[in-house]
Amino acid sequence: MKVLYSATKPTGKLTLGNYIGALQNWKKLKDEYDCYFCIANLHAHTINIDPKYILENTYEQFAWFLSCGLDSEKSCIYVQSMLPEHSEMCWLLNCNTMMGEASRMTQYKDHLAKGEKSITTALFTYPVLMAGDILLFNTNIVPVGQDQVQHVELARDIAKRFNTRFGKSVVEPNYFIPKVGAKIMGLLNPESKMGKSDDDPNNIIYLQDSEEDVARKIKRAVTDSVGIIQYDPENQPGVSNLLTIIAVMENTDIQQVVESLSGQNYGALKTRATNAINNHLRPIREKYKYYMENKDELYKLMQKGAEKAKKVASQTLKRCKDAMGLL
């Protein structure tokens, strides 16, 4: 079986964007691959963040993974910091990454462009840590949203360089993005991505929002003055975003949603979106509640996942160290 690897970073509550671009897509692929799903908590410390928040958010994201239908028996679900191999691999790969490559990564450039003074070296090398995550598990495919494609491409470039310098030691990965929903946009600002660290909660649907919150936020979602329900992301980004969300939540395609709403107004579109989201998320939220009330059970699953992950990661690390002449 080919290997699939993906992760989320516990720097905020998971959003509908994370769910559509990542989690629900992982669930669809999980039976076709040997899967590793990770809570990338080392990545979370690239910014200044409260340790208590990271810890709680790690449990939350682990609980969402399980609630969304990932199976810790079939797949390996684990927490990054429980495997020291990640940090060690990151160093080996830092020695094989060019300054120019790391400088071109959007996230670092965005922080720089905002004029932030306190950028850590970890933020700069963050994509290298991510490459390490992927390469440690001999990954063939990395399902991600659009914003992470650049990082997976870098992982591939680093893997190629490593193999060229030291002989074939790692697998060169490919990214995979969903056909629909690779970039879910903000509700109030449909020109940019719905991101979990956005300052305005009304721009975002969180998985843990109540049904009333979802209704209220969708009601306020920005549409346009065209007045026709059609899929046209360039000219009608808000409406197109809602159509995409409905299509994924109802497990159908965008054209069918458009046809079924033909001749109706934006109020009907919004009611449909609210119902689609709430109906889809209701059973998932119930499971989430159960897991969060049983954190001991979650911790046991984390330990099991880490044991499983370590077996593969430690072998890859040894292979890479041997190739680099490191005792």
Range 232-241, long-range pairs (CB < 8 A, 24+ positions):
237/185, 237/190, 237/191, 238/185, 238/187, 238/190, 239/266, 239/269, 240/190, 241/184, 241/185, 241/187, 241/190
Stretch that binds ligand TYM, among 140-148, 259-267, 272-280, 291-299 (CB under 6 A): 140-148
State which residue, 207 or 301, has the beta carbon closest to ligand TYM: 207
Beta strands in the chain (DSSP E): 3-8, 34-39, 76-79, 141-143, 174-176
- What's the closest the beta carbon of residue 117 comes to ligand TYM, in angstroms? 22
State which residue, 193 or 310, has the beta carbon closest to ligand TYM: 193
State which residue, 228 or 231, has the beta carbon closest to ligand TYM: 231
In angstroms, rounded to a whole number, what is the distance separating the alpha carbons of residues 181 and 177? 9
Site string for ligand TYM, 7-36 (x = CB under 6 A): xxx-------xx-xxx--------------
Go through 89-115 and write b for each residue having 16 or more CB atoms within 10 A of its CB, e for each that does not. Answer: bbebbbebbeeebbeebebbeebeeee
Stretch that binds ligand TYM, among 46-54, 89-97, 112-120, 177-185 (CB under 6 A): 177-185
- The yes or no reply on residue 183 touching ligand TYM (CB under 6 A) is yes
Instruction: Find how far residue 137's CA is from the centre of its chain.
Output: 17
Among 34, 133, 209, 250, binds ligand TYM (CB under 6 A): 133
Question: Does residue 313 contact residue 84 with C-beta atoms inside 8 Å?
Answer: no
- What's the closest the beta carbon of residue 298 comes to ligand TYM, in angstroms? 19
- The yes or no reply on residue 148 touching ligand TYM (CB under 6 A) is yes
Terminal CA-CA length for the chain: 31
Among 4, 35, 39, 40, binds ligand TYM (CB under 6 A): 40
Residues that bind ligand TYM (CB under 6 A): 5-9, 17-18, 20-22, 40, 43, 130, 133-134, 142, 144-145, 147-148, 182-184, 193-195
